[in-house]
A and B are shown apart, each in its own frame.
Chain A
Amino acid sequence: MEKYRVLIIDDEEDFVETIVKRLRDRGLDAEGALSGPEGLQILENKDFDVIILDVKMPKMSGIETLREIKKKKPLVEVIMLTGHGSVESGIQGLQLGAFNYVMKPVPLDELLKQMNQAYERKLIEEERNH
């Protein structure tokens, strides 16, 4: 698998730690952030290909974070993670340009499949913009 850059933004510390480790084990360049603002801060200094974003977070919600991310980096692909499948946020997220929604708890292989598709999409868009 190609080594692309993934940022995981979720307020559950254990979850972020585990998934970052497992993605690194699979050869990806993975980093974690525990809140929307922290994720946006990291994005200031480094580009990512795919972002995995929790919908439900205190302070700044996933949807608000998505809005900011797309303002700053329109080409990065975002996969939303949700614990309960909220239809409202589903519509909003897709309208704001999210690639997909994945339900927690998410099997790693399923997440990777979605991430690869999202990454492929980003490559197509980058090529088109050149």
Chain B
Amino acid sequence: MSDSMNFSNVKYFFLPTILLVSSLPLGLLANGSFALLAILLSGLSAFQTIRLLKRNGVRETEKVELDSFSCRNQIFSSVDQLSAGIAHEINNPLGIISQEIEWLRHILKKQEISSSVDRKDLDDCEDSLMEISRQVDRCNEIVQKLLSLARQVEPVIQEVEANDVVLSVLEIVNREARDFNINIVAQLDESLPPISTDPPLLRQAVLNLLVNARQAIERDGEICVSTRRTDSEFVEIEIRDNGCGISPENLNRVFTPFFSTKPEGKGSGLGLAICRGIIERLGGEITVESEFGKFTAFTIKLPVGKKKERSLFV
């Protein structure tokens, strides 16, 4: 058992490297865009490797855990470099495309005034530009998500009420939920101690979970958001929905980057990967429980405020 695990680890580690190396010459030929894609892919499979190493490491010896830890750090820093590369290499061309779209629109406006041009051709051009700009928006969105996933900015820790954070996110989704006849119930434990966390990062994670819950229900259903204290060191935030649920074979894949069951263009499969990244950086843990066709519940476990923690040791 342990042998086969090691094999798969090795395989996952070399695959991206081979991919990366073999794609470089190809990429150079094609203006660098293929190379970029390959670098991206290998970066992400490397990211997966860390997850595997990390999870398998739990049951193996301390030495292996240490090895995978340093490996994880190494890979993380290269993921960081990748993200900087992506930002530069893809964002800039996207920016230029957007500017050129504006320029073409401007030219078309001028043509509209002169009557010599075919009206229908002009309309077609405008439609086409509209579609290009929609697709550029989509690319922008994915780049943004990749950056969120890879970004290793250190969290800024503040002491806040977990309930306040939850309520501020509920405000964002409440109205849209009502439009789809989705009832959001908040069961907040008023006696929660403050938590030490990065509020905007936590909001981002909770919002992603609420959006997934809403999408899982589509129409007519209920999302229950609850907070509670489990022991002296942790508080929990649970987001539970009575939507489509997750099939057993998919349950352990939902946090994998790019895993999505949503139609093309609807889901990039990065939401939960971003969530997990955030929660782990905040010193917490995120878990999922689901019954296909019945319910799904994500639970975020976060450490209570530093002040409390310190006083335990005094």
Contacts and interface: CB of A to CB of B under 8 A. Distances in A.
Interface of A: 82, 84-87, 90-92, 94-103, 117, 120-121, 124-125, 128
Top 3 A-B pairs ranked by shortest CB distance?
A: A90-B172, A94-B204, A85-B175
B200 A94 contact: yes
Interface in B110-169: 141, 144-145, 147-148, 154, 156-158, 160, 168-169
A103 B176 contact: no
B158 A124 contact: yes
Given A99-B199, A99-B200, A124-B156, A91 B168 contact: no
A91 B211 contact: yes
A100 B156 contact: no
7 contacts: A84-B175, A87-B173, A92-B144, A95-B148, A98-B200, A101-B171, A121-B158
Nearest to A78: B200
Contact of A95 (B169, B173, B204): B204
B175 A90 contact: no
A100 B144 contact: no
Contacts of B172: 82, 85-87, 90, 101
Interface string B198-220: 01100110011001001000000
B22 interface: no
B211 A87 contact: yes
Nearest to B214: A87
B211 A100 contact: no
Contacts of A102: 168
A94 B151 CA distance: 14
A94 B203 contact: yes
Contacts of A128: 154, 156
| Residue among B154, B207, B211 with most chain A CB within 10 A | B207
| Residue among A87, A92, A102 with most chain B CB within 10 A | A87
A126 to B, nearest CB: 11
Contacts of A96: 144
Nearest to A98: B200
Given A94-B200, A95-B144, A101-B168, A85 B158 contact: no
A100 B175 contact: no
A91 B207 contact: yes
| Residue among A85, A86, A124, A128 with most chain B CB within 10 A | A85
B151 to A, nearest CB: 10
A119 to B, nearest CB: 11
A100 B157 CA distance: 15
B207 to A, nearest CB: 6
Contacts of B168: 100-102
B67 to A, nearest CB: 31
